[in-house]
Amino acid sequence: MASRKRSLPMKDGPPAASKLTRAAGKSHVAALVLARGGSKGIPLKNIKMLAGVPLLGWVLRAAVDSEMFDSVWVSTDHDEIEKVAKSWGAKVHRRSPEVSRDSSTSLETIQEFVRINPEIDVVCNIQATSPCLHPFHLTEALEMITQQDYDSVFSVVRRHQFRWQEVKKGSGEITKPLNLDPSSRPRRQDWDGELCENGSFYFTTRDNLVTKGLLQGSKVAYYEMLPEYSVDIDVDIDWPVAEQRVLRYGYFGRATPEVVRLMFCNVSGCLTEGRIFLSKSGEEMVSVHTRDTAGIRMLQKENMEVVLLTSKVDSVSRSLADALARRTGCEVVEVGDEPLDDLRPMVETRKLGWKDVAYMGVDSQDVDCLNLAGLSAVPRDAPMVAVNATKYTCRRAGGAGAVREFAEHILLQREKAKAQTQQHRIDRRHF
């Protein structure tokens, strides 16, 4: 199963009617991500790129796509974090200096936020450093408040770790076990383990925060997440491990990767590096990386149609595209200053939605398509206006394997989606 939900303590009988359900249409549920600029472990950690997306973007995407929140906010004291937050669809709460110090607590910051926004009834504090959060986690946890009348719900993960009492060096004390009997060590399969907060999110009501000064109080419940989704980043050494986990278990948007059948790819800037070479005779030339053509063939082998896009004012890229079309069988389409106007009819003709489309662009004219496409990417060297609009930023630059990287990303997401569908069917058979 993807998750387990439990109350603390468990109570017999059906849950009472929710206070928020009774006030349907009047309650305001807000998501709040705390993202201070003064991280000591990793400078500006909250907007550092992780698997092609700013760290903050992973949780904001999950919050927005859950469609469970009346508003999604980022609380910050930093201009660059504010820009990234807004580009991912969040509102910004500029926290005061009093709650921006190293000694400031999360509770103090959240309390300031709800005092400034009196219309908010329930707050979900989402941790920016939990990039494997999915919309369904938030949806199921919030339902425990809106439908089951809990006042606080927080995320946990099950750990199977034996703990021992710490002994100070030189004290002469003997350590003692804290959660096991050494004479009868249980096997993992015979031990339920322990529930530990994973910090991904904390739902609570205004009354808990303002009146009682608690993040977890009154009628409390936990929401159990599987270990693969319980990723936290604190120091640099966590980063490469988290990146691999996110590529496998992260949430990349509403796309249905297993049925994506169409990819649009800009030639200039994606398949080329953006430079034009001039021969001695004045002939213009560009180059394309063999990795990228191999990436196109990888997609075609999986029955995905690849359409190469060229500009009406770029004759060199058109010539290259025609040459690639002869080698790969791709269709070549000329687009104007607004590619969406030219591509929308092609999507409709194929009876697809934009969520079923992959798009690779490189500049401001591609922003609309990057936003609409279910899977989208830009090369590493794309300008920020395109980076902020895309769902994945490649580690490789244009003309240096970026298209191949995006192709591998698409196929990985398809494989992941199929595995999740299969697991869901297995889970259903257990009920």
Nearest Cα to 27, choosing from 35, 37, 38, 19?
Answer: 19
Q: Among the options 22, 185, 327, 350, which is catalytic?
A: 185
Q: Cβ contacts of residue 307 below 8 Å, gap of 6+? A: 262, 263, 264, 265, 330, 331, 332, 333, 346
Q: Is 185 a catalytic residue?
A: yes
Q: Cβ contacts of residue 112 below 8 Å, gap of 6+? A: 95, 96, 98, 99
Is residue 24 classed as helix, strand or coil in its secondary structure? coil
Q: Cβ contacts of residue 306 below 8 Å, gap of 6+? A: 263, 265, 296, 299, 300, 328, 330
Report yes or no: 130 and 59 within 8 Å, Cβ to Cβ. Answer: yes
Angle, CA 337 vertex, CA 333 and CA 342 arms, to 5°: 40
ω into 9 cis (within 30 of 0): yes
C-alpha gyration radius of the chain:
25
Nearest Cα to 112, choosing from 89, 94, 127?
Answer: 94
Tokens standing for residue 85: 């937050």
Number of H helices, E strands in the chain: 13, 17
Mark out the alpha helices in 183-329 (DSSP H runs): 206, 238-249, 290-301, 315-328
Strands 152-159 and 220-225: parallel
Give me the residues paired with residue 306 across strands: 263
Report yes or no: 343 and 333 within 8 Å, Cβ to Cβ. Answer: yes
Residues identified as active-site: 185
